[in-house]
Amino acid sequence: MEWMKQAAISAQKSDAVFFYVFGLSVAFLLFITALMIYFVIRYDKKRHPVASQIEGHVGLEIVWTVIPLILFLSIFYYGWTNYEYMSQAPRESMVVKVMARQWSWSFEYPNGKQSKVLFAPLEKPMKLEVRSADMVHGFYVPSFRLKIDAVPARANTTWFQATRLGAYDIECTVICGVDHSLMLSKVVVVPEDEFKAWYFGGENAPEPGKSLTAAGTPAAPPDEPKGLALLKANGCLECHSVDGKPMVGPTFKGLFGKSEQIKVAGVDQTVTVDEAYLRRAILNPESQVVRGYPADTMPAAELKPDELSQVVTYLKTLK
């Protein structure tokens, strides 16, 4: 299972504390169960018909006070030092601003670069300043054992240093509305030179870890239409299918040329889907809502004019 991987130092530390406490618990469970079985046999009514009064035993009292005390203090110490480690980012960390909103994550780097997935160089510390644009969300990377609240009007900070290449899930841990379960992204851990090429490259620098961005799904075949790649990159396919399957939003299959029932400012209308309709639907989803689907759900797309044309061209091919 992906989340079980230890993909950052924080995961190793957190698991070490967990297994320490877990190991102690198992040892005590076995010890107490064995003792209980022994007593049941030893003080059975046949062997021990008359109950006897046992007076105090100072040595025993000291032993069972001091040993648990030491164990509890060791748990506290271990937990505390790891907590301290996880709350203090090294000075040389790169600081990334994380913004949570209903229902997506976005990341901004010190040089102003922005992305929808969190690119991170291998074995380099990254400090995260986590904020929210609307309400309380929870930033969680299971494979890093990294979790922190995203709260409006303040920045919560945490950090990580990835130890494995790969793409790891980012989830929201706070129920934040209808599409909470779709509020997903990825941390994409790439070799440092690949990260630098993207970070210092201009607008058109290739995205690092292309083959990992959609985690699990293989790299896009070279003949993939531009429009489809854009739909993937902009998260459209989280809510729309291209094969006829209804998802959160209507499928794109057979959309072009179809007569669509929509609501415009609350009034029912039937329109034929043409290019102009598609452009409006993508840039200004609130202006025309497809009947039977929720309004306020589709985020207005942030596409450049030529990207929008490529998307529309691609949608027209989905017969």
Using the rule CB under 6 A, which residue among 100, 278, 310, 314 binds ligand HEC?
278
Distances (CA, A) of 193 to 143, 168, 200, 218: 23, 20, 10, 22
Contact stretch for ligand HEC (CB under 6 A) within 15-23, 114-122, 143-151, 280-288: 280-288
Q: How many CA atoms lie within 13 A of 316 on its CB side?
A: 12
Nearer to ligand HEC by C-beta: 189 or 289? 289
Using the rule CB under 6 A, which residue among 238, 242, 313, 318 binds ligand HEC?
238
Q: Indicate the residue type of 282.
A: I
Nearer to ligand HEC by C-beta: 163 or 313? 313
Contact stretch for ligand HEC (CB under 6 A) within 61-69, 132-140, 143-151, 290-298: 290-298
Contact stretch for ligand HEC (CB under 6 A) within 72-80, 115-123, 148-156, 291-299: 291-299
Position 100 contacts ligand HEC (CB under 6 A): no
Contacts of 260 (CB under 8 A, 6+ apart): 270, 271, 272, 273, 277, 290
Distance CA 165, CA 168 (A): 9
Position 135 contacts ligand HEC (CB under 6 A): no
In the complex, least distance from residue 114 CB atom to ligand HEC, rounded to whole angstroms? 16
CB atoms within 10 A of CB 161: 18
Contacts of 125 (CB under 8 A, 6+ apart): 89, 90, 92, 93, 94, 159, 160, 161
Using the rule CB under 6 A, which residue among 11, 139, 235, 256 binds ligand HEC?
235
Query: Interface mask (CB under 6 A) for ligand HEC, residues 19-48, using x and -?
Result: ------------------------------
Position 227 contacts ligand HEC (CB under 6 A): no
Tokens linked to 186: 């990825």
Largest CA distance in the chain: 95
Using the rule CB under 6 A, which residue among 255, 256, 310, 314 binds ligand HEC?
255
Nearer to ligand HEC by C-beta: 125 or 227? 227
Distance CA 228, CA 6 (A): 33
Nearer to ligand HEC by C-beta: 24 or 239? 239
Contact between 104 and 171 (Cβ < 8 Å): no
In the complex, least distance from residue 155 CB atom to ligand HEC, rounded to whole angstroms? 26
Distance CA 118, CA 185 (A): 8
Distance CA 236, CA 282 (A): 10
Position 310 contacts ligand HEC (CB under 6 A): no
Which residues of the shown chain bind ligand HEC in the complex (CB under 6 A)?
A: 179, 234-236, 238-240, 248-250, 255, 260, 273, 278, 281-282, 285, 289-290, 293-295, 297-299, 301, 311
